[in-house]
Structure formats: C-alpha cells, structure tokens
Amino acid sequence: MENPEQQIATLPRIGDKAPAFTAVTTQGDINFPADYEGKWIILFSHPADFTPVCTSEFMTFAHMEPEFTALNCQLVGLSIDGLYSHIAWLRTIKEKIQFKGMKNIEVKFPLIEDISMTVAKKYGMIQPGESTTKAVRAVFFIDPKGTIRAMIYYPLSMGRNFDELKRALIAMQTADAYNIATPADWRPGDDVIVPTAGSCGVAKERMEDKDEMTCYDWFFCTRPLPLEKVRTQ
C-alpha cells in the first residue's frame, strides 16, 4: 500500500484525460473540464496568495489573457488558499500593484479555492520534497477534447516564462492543424518537421522530392510553414 506522500505526488500523464472536478472559484462554481469543452485550457497552480512571485505571474497572465482567448484558450488558476483570500488578493493587485509597466490589472479568469487540496492532489501539484502545504508552479495544457497534452513544473522560487507558455500552445495547435512537428526553439514562421517516413518507399520518395521539403536524410525532413498560415492570435 502506498504511503500518503506517494499518493500526494502522483502525477497525471500526457495523453491522460484531465482529472475532472467541481470547484468554487472567483468567477463562480465550475465543472472542470466539461465547462470548457471545445477550448484549450491552461490550468496552473501557484503556492499562495499575497506572495510576490505569484503576484507578478497573475498580473502577467491577466495582461495576456486576451492573447490566450484569441487562441481559443481558457485560463484557470488554483491555489490552496480560500475564496475570500483570493478575492482580497486580486483586489489588492488591481488597486495597488505595479509590475513592468502593468497597473490596474483585473484578473477575470477563474481562480480556484482548494483549501482541501483535493484538486492539487489530483494533479500532482503538492510535491512533498518541495512543500507539503503549498502547490508548486504547475502548468497543464489540456486540449479541446479534455486530454492533457503537456505539463510543466517549476519550483516555488521561480516565476514562469509566459512567452514560452504561449509558444507551447501555438506549437501544439499548429502540430494538430498541419500534422507536423516543431523543432527546437521553433517560432511561428520557422520551418517545421515532417513526420518520419513509415516505409522504405516513402523514405525514397522524400529523398527524391525536392519541391516542398528539404531532406537532410530520410528521417529528417523539413518544410516551410509561412507565418500567415500559423494561428498566433
């Protein structure tokens, strides 16, 4: 039988259905992920309200929310603090905090109350080696069918890179739309990778076809995907 710490640290896996739950949030009750069917979701956790790194992150997410909305993506935040703490913190952010030129920032996406840590445990956000009382900075990308497509975990001390979160979302959407893969450091407008040939015949054709693809060897072929064909907003 697993001990409690092992149970707390259990992580969902890429390709799993996102664990379902109902919760109270700063935007009312939600049924997750059913309420957002047909949309991408970024579910992210933070360690605690009224902390500086978390404040900078929430301001950045709120500032960028229109960009994620344009990409058919719903933001949903979580911490193990209570609803009234959430509300007071978000009011403080709007009324008092300035960061990188941002001020009067209103957080309009839902922030989940998770005092019981029920949701945090479902998603492996409580990691005892880091803290037994705070959620690490976890990020889950969930596709319109409710499947977990990517996960990123950060330690309590490090704020997230929001350009990378947006880039990752665009890369996954682009891969789905064009049946391609994206290489290291890919940005919209860069060449993309064509899936590896599944047979000797296809491999031979690729090496001989110089029109659309550049093949460095049978397993490594790229092709252009112009920026105007990539959904970035």
Domain boundaries, the chain: 4-160, 179-229
∠ CA 46-91-151, nearest 5°, is 20
Distance CA 75, CA 68 (A): 8
pLDDT of residue 78: 93
Q: What is the dihedral of CA 102, 113, 159, 54, to 10 degrees?
A: 50
Strand partners, 45: 78
Distance CA 203, CA 217 (A): 9
Residues marked active site are found at: 54
pLDDT of residue 103: 96
pLDDT tens across the length of the chain (233 residues): 444 444 445 689 999 999 999 999 999 999 999 999 999 999 999 988 999 999 999 999 999 999 999 999 999 999 889 999 999 999 999 999 999 999 999 999 999 999 888 998 899 887 767 665 677 789 999 999 999 999 999 988 899 999 999 999 999 999 999 999 999 999 999 999 998 765 555 555 655 555 588 888 888 989 999 999 998 88
| CB atoms near residue 74 (< 10 Å) | 21
137 is in an annotated binding site: yes
Tokens 């949030």, residue? 25
Q: Two tokens at 126? A: 């409580």
Same fold for the pair 4-160 and 179-229: no
CA distance from start to end of the chain:
48
SS (H, E, C) the chain: CCCHHHHHCCCCCCCCECCCEEECEECECEEECHHHCCCEEEEEECCCCCCHHHHHHHHHHHHHHHHHHHCCEEEEEEECCCHHHHHHHHHHHHHHCCECCECCCCCCCCEEECCCCHHHHHCCCCCCCCCCCCCCEEEEEECCCCEEEEEEEECCCCCCCHHHHHHHHHHHHHHHHHCCECCCCCCCCCCEECCCCCCHHHHHHHHHCCCCCEEEECCEEEECCCHHHCCCC
Distance CA 140, CA 142 (A): 6
**CATH 3.40.30.10 applies to domain 4-160:** yes
pLDDT of residue 205: 60
- Please state which of the four CATH numbers 3.30.1020.10, 3.40.190.10, 3.40.50.970, 1.10.3720.10 is assigned to the domain occupying 179-229: 3.30.1020.10
pLDDT of residue 82: 94
pLDDT of residue 1: 43
What lies within 8 Å, CB to CB, of 13 at 6+ separation is: 148
pLDDT of residue 135: 72
Distance CA 171, CA 175 (A): 6
Distance CA 50, CA 232 (A): 32
Q: What is the dihedral of CA 49, 79, 57, 11, to 10 degrees?
A: 150
